[in-house]
């Protein structure tokens, strides 16, 4: 009889209901699971799970795999209800969402009732490129909210959310007759009646209808951003230049700061500087916060934004509006934005129901960086309390004491054959969005590090490993894949999982002496990469560079893309800086002269301070690059210099097409560099003549990749 019941159970399980393929993928990625992780748990191939999620022609699991898969999806659906589910709790505001001074403990009970459901914000559509603004209005005619003025052609329109119908931000300026105007995205111009800062804050929160919907159902809506021009800052009583050039903040006794204090508004710990946040503590789950960017104080760094800060107000609104639509509303430098985007897409907390009280509380969000953890000692910078307790003040740590995962800075002497083969040029190839591409599907630790002795290496466990890779032979005409300088390791050293996994790929025997591994982990950067990739691709398309172009057309489009539209070129620069700066913030070191060696600094209190994550990502960048270098080396092409994501090759002509290897069918060599706009593909970085290259290497002993674009070209790698 029991055998009959078992057969019936198996028959029912073989028809376990499953959601549509799109929902299967959404549930998996919401929990930060990779295809490999699901395949390993269900004991099937990675391609099988991928086929179950295919939107074009999904396959259906059978037998015991179907029952297990249905069970997995059911549990994930309980954790991550479909966005359209009106019963799903909204974000618990007030915990980790507020300015630094007002953040609550990681878990704190809120009101007895759950927060009101909020619609999930889909990523806004890509905005068209902004055009030059029309002349500023001089009429005294009132422009009420919602009334539109002649719009600069092609500026992005405001969001469809009625709460934010005027877009994410406004540029506040003063007209010739003294009228305060707010230039919004899409060409909308609003009259702003505010004469003081407190009144301006009130206007932004009540009448302006500025802001942007959250990027994740567990996140928070973006606060309004007001960008002040020189004229607006002056009219509101701000000085033209900050006297505190080191701290970059307004004195606490300044009249504007006093006005805000009298009106019960607060400033974050960073004070009133180029990027100032004005707020009141949240009441009843409602945020009251406005972000300010002060243009005369250098809020828009020219290294990231070009000359955006000098443009007319309507053009500034167009540029920043496009960035806000495609990335997020700016909240500081592009580095700060890169870090904030991680948290906006993967919020550290979510609303959970307390089983004991039935009230909604703030709990950790699975798959996110939910709280700060101490790094492993070899991962921490020298100033960190962990390191200061282990070594004297001026001790220089050796490779077996500190991890050194950095991008390449390598060049080599020319061989006799290279000097006599008649090469005429040196050509640089730069990988598009190399660091963003490496973040895709990268697994990092989301929990604490565990120390283990003599472990077996596991490529699925992110962390740091002490292992000797000096025995691995590599071609001397290629950089060694295990050190930033491209030199051979001299003995045991600390490496990230990304780097050690590449050593295993090369067939080397590996036996770590010790490791710090993260048993809690996930593909944390996936959503971050996807949003930045889409922003980059949309902006490149606006600049005339699109996927699928022929190699010749791509090179021609790249040669002119920065001059097509200065506004979109500024957005592109900001997107690249967001990637680079956000990754740098993962290991932010002490800022300012007040820090004392060995004492904690503010960045350590962030859940997103993770030098381990940075090491994993950069290790993957370097090994990805070495894999492509090796593919070309098998075809007889060897680089002479590499700086970060730029590789320099010798050529008989000035174009990449003059030396790039081909298959017998004339196609790009599999596994190597390919010309194209997508992240991970390459573009032409620059060309110099062969004699310049030889002199730079042999006489000057300088890495030629640093100057392949020109003597004064800055390092612009992502």
pLDDT at residue 210 greater than cutoff 90? yes
Could you tell me if residue 97 is left (phi over 0), alpha (psi between -120 and 50 degrees) or otherwise beta? alpha
Same domain, 170 and 204: yes
The whole-number average pLDDT for the span 604-615 is: 97
- Domain total of the chain: 2
In a domain, 517, yes or no: no
C-alpha triplet 260, 264, 268: angle, nearest 5°: 65
Cβ–Cβ < 8 Å for 626, 361: no
Predicted confidence (pLDDT) per residue in 548-572, tens digit: 999 999 999 999 999 999 999 999 9
The answer, yes or no, to whether residue 262 has pLDDT greater than 70, is yes
Predicted confidence band of residue 6 (pLDDT cuts 50, 70, 90)? low
Among the ranges 159-163, 176-180, 442-446, which has the highest mean pLDDT value?
442-446
CATH number at residue 61: 1.10.260
* Residue 216 and residue 169 share a domain: yes
Assign 5 a pLDDT band (cuts: 50, 70, 90). Answer: low
Rounded to the nearest integer, the mean pLDDT of the chain is 86
- Judge whether 425 lies within some domain: no
Structure tokens of 533? 């990739």
- Tell whether 43 is covered by a domain: yes
What's the whole-number mean pLDDT along residues 101-113? 33
Residue 507, both tokens? 């067939």
Q: Tell me, yes or no, whether 112 and 37 share the same domain.
A: no
Do 210 and 265 belong to one domain?
A: yes
pLDDT at residue 89 tops 70: no
Highest mean pLDDT among 153-157, 455-459, 472-476: 455-459
Domain boundary among 79, 110, 129: 79
pLDDT of residue 18 exceeding 90, the answer is no
Domain ends where: 79, 101, 132?
79
Stretch 262-287: mean pLDDT, rounded?
A: 91
Render pLDDT for 122-146 as a digit per residue (tens, 0 to 9): 333 434 333 333 333 333 334 444 3
Q: Tell me the pLDDT band of 417, cut-offs 50, 70 and 90.
A: very high
Residues 38 and 102 grouped into a single domain: no
- 238 shares a domain with 206: yes
- Cα–Cα dist 522/255, whole Å: 49
End-of-domain residue from the set 319, 345, 367: 367
**Residue % of the chain over a pLDDT of 70:** 85
Is 12 among the domain residues? yes
**Same domain? 54 vs 116:** no
Cβ 217 vs Cβ 238: under 8 Å? no
Confidence band for 11, pLDDT divided at 50, 70 and 90: low
pTM beyond 0.85? no
Phi, psi of 382 (to 5 degrees): -60, -30
**Structural domain contains residue 358:** yes
User: What pLDDT, on the 0 to 100 scale, is given for residue 642?
Assistant: 98
| Closest-CA residue to 360 (of 107, 611, 674, 82) | 107
- Does residue 79 carry a pLDDT above 90? no
- pLDDT at position 337: 98
Q: What is the pLDDT of residue 250?
A: 94
Phi-psi region of 113 (alpha: psi -120 to 50; beta: other; left: phi over 0): beta
> Which structural domain, as residue segments, surrounds residue 22?
2-79
Contacts of 74 (CB under 8 A, 6+ apart): none
CA distance 438 to 418: 32
Concatenated DSSP letters of 378-438: GGS-TTSHHHHTTS-TT----TTTS------EEE-PPPHHHHHTT--EEEEEEETTHHHHH
Same domain? 66 vs 124: no
Q: What are the tens digits of pLDDT across the range 316-359?
A: 999 999 999 999 999 999 999 999 999 999 999 999 988 888 88
- Give yes or no for residue 54 having a pLDDT over 90: no
Same domain assignment for residues 240 and 164: yes
């Amino acid at each position: 009889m029991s055998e009959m019941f078992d057969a019936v159970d198996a028959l029912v399980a073989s028809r376990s209901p499953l959601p549509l393929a799109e929902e299967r993928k959404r549930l998996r990625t919401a929990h930060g699971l990779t295809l490999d992780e699901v395949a390993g748990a269900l004991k099937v191939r990675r391609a099988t799970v991928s086929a179950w999620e295919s939107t074009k022609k999904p396959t259906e699991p059978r037998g015991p795999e179907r029952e297990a898969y249905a069970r997995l999806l059911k549990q994930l659906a309980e954790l991550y209800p479909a966005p359209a589910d009106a019963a799903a709790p909204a974000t618990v505001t007030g915990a980790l969402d507020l300015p630094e001074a007002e953040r609550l403990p990681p878990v704190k009970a809120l009101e007895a009732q759950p927060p009101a459901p909020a619609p999930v914000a889909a990523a806004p559509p890509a905005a068209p490129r902004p055009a030059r603004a029309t002349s500023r209005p001089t009429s005294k005619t009132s422009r009420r909210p919602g009334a539109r003025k002649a719009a600069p052609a092609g500026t992005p329109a405001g969001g469809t959310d009625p709460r934010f119908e005027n877009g994410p931000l406004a540029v506040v300026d003063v007209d010739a007759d003294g009228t305060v105007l707010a230039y919004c995205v899409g060409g909308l111009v609003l009259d702003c009646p505010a004469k003081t800062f407190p009144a301006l804050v009130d206007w932004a929160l009540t009448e302006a209808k500025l802001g942007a919907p959250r990027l994740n159902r567990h996140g928070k809506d973006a606060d309004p951003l007001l960008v002040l021009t020189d004229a607006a800052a002056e009219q509101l009583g701000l000085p033209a230049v900050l006297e505190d050039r080191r701290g970059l903040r307004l004195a606490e006794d300044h009249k504007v700061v006093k006005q805000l204090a009298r009106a019960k508004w607060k400033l974050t710990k960073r004070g009133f500087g180029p990027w100032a946040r004005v707020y009141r503590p949240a009441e009843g789950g409602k945020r009251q916060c406005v972000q300010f960017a002060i243009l005369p104080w250098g809020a828009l760094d020219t290294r990231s934004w070009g000359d955006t800060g000098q443009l007319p107000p309507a053009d500034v609104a167009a540029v920043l509006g496009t960035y806000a639509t495609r990335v997020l509303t700016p909240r500081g430098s592009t580095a700060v934005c890169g870090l904030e985007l991680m948290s906006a897409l993967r919020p550290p907390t979510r609303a959970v129901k307390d089983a004991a009280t039935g009230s909604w509380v703030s709990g950790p969000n699975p798959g996110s960086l939910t709280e700060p953890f101490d790094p492993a000692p070899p991962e921490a910078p020298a100033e960190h309390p962990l390191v200061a307790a282990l070594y004297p003040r001026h001790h220089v740590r050796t490779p077996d004491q500190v991890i050194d995962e950095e991008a390449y800075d390598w060049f080599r002497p020319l061989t006799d054959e290279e000097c006599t083969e008649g090469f005429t040029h040196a050509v640089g190839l730069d990988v598009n969005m190399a660091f963003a591409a490496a973040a895709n599907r990268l697994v990092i630790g989301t929990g604490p590090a565990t120390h283990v002795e003599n472990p077996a290496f596991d490529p699925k466990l992110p962390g740091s490993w002490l292992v000797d890779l000096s025995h691995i032979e590599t071609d001397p005409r290629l950089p060694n894949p295990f050190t930033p300088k491209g030199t051979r390791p001299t003995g045991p050293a600390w490496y990230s999982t990304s780097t050690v996994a590449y050593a295993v790929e090369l067939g080397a025997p590996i036996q770590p002496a010790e490791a710090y591994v993260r048993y809690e982990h996930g593909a944390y950067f996936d959503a971050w990469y996807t949003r930045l990739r889409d922003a980059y691709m949309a902006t490149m398309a606006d600049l005339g560079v699109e996927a699928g172009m022929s190699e010749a057309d791509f090179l021609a489009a790249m040669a002119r893309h920065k001059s097509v539209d200065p506004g979109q070129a500024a957005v592109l620069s900001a997107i690249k800086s967001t990637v680079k700066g956000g990754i740098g913030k993962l290991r932010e070191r002490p800022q300012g002269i007040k820090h004392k060696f060995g004492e904690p600094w503010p960045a350590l209190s962030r859940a997103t301070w993770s030098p381990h994550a940075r090491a994993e990502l950069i290790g993957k960048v370097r090994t990805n690059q070495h894999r492509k270098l090796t593919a070309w080396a098998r075809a007889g092409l060897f680089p002479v210099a590499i700086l970060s994501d730029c590789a320099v090759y010798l050529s008989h002509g000035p174009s990449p097409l003059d030396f790039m290897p081909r298959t017998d069918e004339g196609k790009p060599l599999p596994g190597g560099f390919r010309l194209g706009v997508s992240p991970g593909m390459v573009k032409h970085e620059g060309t110099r003549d062969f004699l310049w290259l030889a002199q730079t290497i042999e006489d000057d002993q300088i890495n030629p990749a640093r100057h392949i674009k020109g003597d004064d070209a800055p390092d612009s790698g992502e």
